[in-house]
């Protein structure tokens, strides 16, 4: 995707052997990149949400392993790096999938070539993610095309939650990839962007992405979606996910479940876009997914830009007000109209997933 006409991925290798990422804590007010030179840099970037979104967390962790093995390629160092990175964010399963892939690529090799093998694997994970998201976009495009055909030329109204765009991945995105492709294909559409409190990934990142690509959109308060659905102003919802369990339950950013409930009540189709790397074949159902608890200050404070251009964080609650901050919720499979994957569409069920990914389901 492009920023100011220049094509970017969210993560890329530097010639000096470090890795560069876009600092998502600064968007949309400032476009800055950060250099990750060590394992600790990578772990911090994930923990502090300089990078976020399930696929990008995975790619960053993979590069983090490669950076660690450059310093020390022993078995102990490999295990240490794995454990440190695995603990940075608990809900996105892509993190663990990517760590396993890089560990498998490095472990049974002579020490002197482990770092290089890990680096190659990380680059492969990043490249594959781009292609996977492109395919998700193509399959999702078919859904949007069909839905738009029923609108007699009026814009198709799509609601999305959080940010499942190119910033959440290496490029393209999952839920937003079909939207970019539909827009490029000349399909008239308009996106309702949930602001996504408490961190505002919708208002800060999704709106930034859509605006950059010229896609018509409007930011809405998180609580507005149900009303818009009742008023017939939402034709379909599409979101990303951090983990899908065997039975098709979906963990995604907090608030997703409420949108799925409202969509169900109003007969609005509710799609979830995901790469197969987000399927956790080891968990039977969503109740087993660890839900990240984040700091109270994300709820009691907000960050924004003042008229003089400075970016500040302010309190929005009385001093000392307690707050709770579960980062994700689980949408039961029964509320999901269908999954959009790199291999096509399927039902949100074990049978649906296994029909598309039989080998993956069998081995894990
Ligand atoms: O806490 P975040 O910003 O990492 O949460 C991101 C989401 O919930 C996305 O919807 C999800 O990772 C899918 S990204 C393609």
pLDDT tens-digit map of 119-130: 999 999 999 999
Å from CA of 252 to ligand 1 middle: 7
CB-based contact 161:258 (threshold 8 Å): no
pLDDT in tens, 144-175: 999 999 999 999 999 999 999 999 999 999 99
pLDDT at residue number 156: 98
Q: Judge whether residue 31 has pLDDT over 90.
A: yes
Residue 146 Cα to ligand 1 middle (Å):
27
Q: What is the pLDDT of residues 135-144, one digit of tens each?
A: 999 999 999 9
CB of 277 sitting under 6 A from ligand 1: no
Ligand 1 mean position, distance from CA 135 (Å): 19
In the chain, which residues fall in CATH 3.40.50.10470?
135-356
Exposure class string for 139-178: b at 16+ Cβ within 10 A, else e: bbbebbeebbeeeeeeebbbbbbbbbbbbbbbbbbbbbbb
Q: Is the CB of 27 under 6 A from ligand 1?
A: no
4 pLDDT exceeds 80? Answer: yes
pLDDT band at 108; cut points 50, 70, 90: confident
Cβ of 200 closer than 6 Å to ligand 1, yes or no, is no
pTM higher than 0.85, yes or no?
yes
Q: Give distance in angstroms: CA of 161 to centre of ligand 1.
A: 9
Cβ of 55 closer than 6 Å to ligand 1, yes or no, is yes
Q: What is the pLDDT of residue 269?
A: 98
Ligand 1, pocket-test mutation among 93, 200, 205, 240, most atoms within 8 A of CB: 240
Structure tokens at 260: 């799925």
Q: Does domain 2-128 have CATH number 1.20.120.420?
A: yes
Section 31-55 average pLDDT = 98
**pLDDT for 16-30, tens place per residue?**
999 999 999 999 999
User: Residue 236 phi/psi, 5° resolution?
Assistant: -160, 155
- Ligand 1 atom at shortest distance from the alpha carbon of 205: 3
pLDDT band with cut points at 50, 70 and 90 for residue 363:
very low
- pLDDT tens-digit series, residues 68-98: 999 999 999 999 999 999 999 999 999 999 9
Q: What topology does CATH give the domain 135-356?
A: Rossmann fold (3.40.50)
Rounded to the nearest angstrom, the distance between the alpha carbon of 270 and the centre of ligand 1 is: 17
Average pLDDT over every residue of 101-118 = 94
Using the 8-state DSSP alphabet, how is residue 290 labeled?
P
Q: Report CA(54)–ligand 1 centroid distance (Å).
A: 6
Q: Whose CA is nearest to atom 10 of ligand 1?
A: 240
**Average pLDDT, whole number, for the chain?**
97
First to last CA, the chain: 34
253 lines ligand 1 (CB under 6 A): yes
Q: Can you tell me which atom of ligand 1 is nearest the CA of 174?
A: 15
For the chain, give every residue range classified as CATH 1.20.120.420: 2-128
Peptide bond into 157 cis (omega under 30): no
Alpha carbon distance 238, 82 (integer Å): 33
**DSSP character for 170?**
S
pLDDT in tens, 302-354: 999 999 999 999 999 999 999 999 999 999 999 999 999 999 999 999 999 99
222 annotated active-site: no
Could you say which of 242, 249, 280, 329 is catalytic? 242
pLDDT for res 362 = 59
Whether residue 19 contacts residue 11, with contact meaning beta carbons closer than 8 Å, is answered with: yes
337 lines ligand 1 (CB under 6 A): no
Helix (H) or strand (E) holding 206: none
pLDDT at 364: 43
């Amino acid at each position: 995707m492009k920023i100011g006409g220049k094509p970017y991925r969210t993560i890329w290798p530097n010639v000096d052997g470090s890795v560069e990422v876009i600092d998502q804590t600064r968007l949309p007010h400032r476009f800055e990149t950060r250099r990750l030179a060590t394992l600790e840099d990578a772990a911090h970037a994930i923990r502090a949400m300089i990078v976020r979104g399930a696929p990008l967390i995975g790619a960053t962790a993979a590069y983090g392993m490669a950076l660690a093995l450059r310093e020390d390629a022993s078995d102990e160092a490999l295990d240490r790096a794995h454990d440190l990175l695995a603990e940075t964010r608990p809900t996105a399963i892509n993190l663990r999938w990517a760590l396993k892939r890089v560990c498998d690529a490095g472990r049974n090799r002579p020490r002197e070539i482990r770092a290089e093998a890990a680096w190659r694997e990380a680059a492969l994970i990043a490249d594959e993610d781009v292609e996977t998201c492109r395919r998700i976009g193509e399959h999702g495009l078919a859904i949007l095309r069909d839905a738009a055909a029923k609108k007699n030329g009026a814009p198709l109204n799509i609601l999305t939650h959080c940010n499942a765009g190119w910033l959440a991945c290496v490029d393209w995105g999952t839920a937003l990839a079909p939207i970019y492709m539909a827009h490029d294909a000349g399909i008239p559409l308009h996106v309702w962007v949930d602001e996504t409190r408490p961190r505002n990934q919708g208002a800060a990142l999704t709106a930034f992405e859509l605006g950059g690509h010229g896609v018509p959109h409007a930011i809405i308060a998180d609580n507005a979606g149900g009303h818009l659905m009742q008023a017939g102003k939402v034709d379909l919802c599409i979101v990303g996910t951090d983990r899908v369990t065997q039975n098709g339950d979906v963990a995604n950013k907090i608030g997703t479940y409420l949108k799925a409930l409202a969509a169900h009540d109003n007969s609005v189709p509710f799609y979830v876009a995901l790469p197969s790397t987000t399927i956790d074949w080891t968990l039977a159902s969503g109740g087993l997914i660890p839900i990240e608890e984040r700091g109270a200050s994300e709820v009691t404070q907000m960050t924004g830009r003042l008229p003089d251009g400075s970016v500040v964080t302010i309190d929005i609650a009385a001093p000392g007000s307690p707050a709770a901050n579960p980062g994700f919720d689980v949408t039961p499979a029964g509320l999901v109209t269908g999954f959009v994957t790199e291999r096509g569409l399927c039902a949100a069920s074990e049978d649906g997933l296994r029909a598309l990914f039989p080998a993956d389901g069998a081995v894990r």
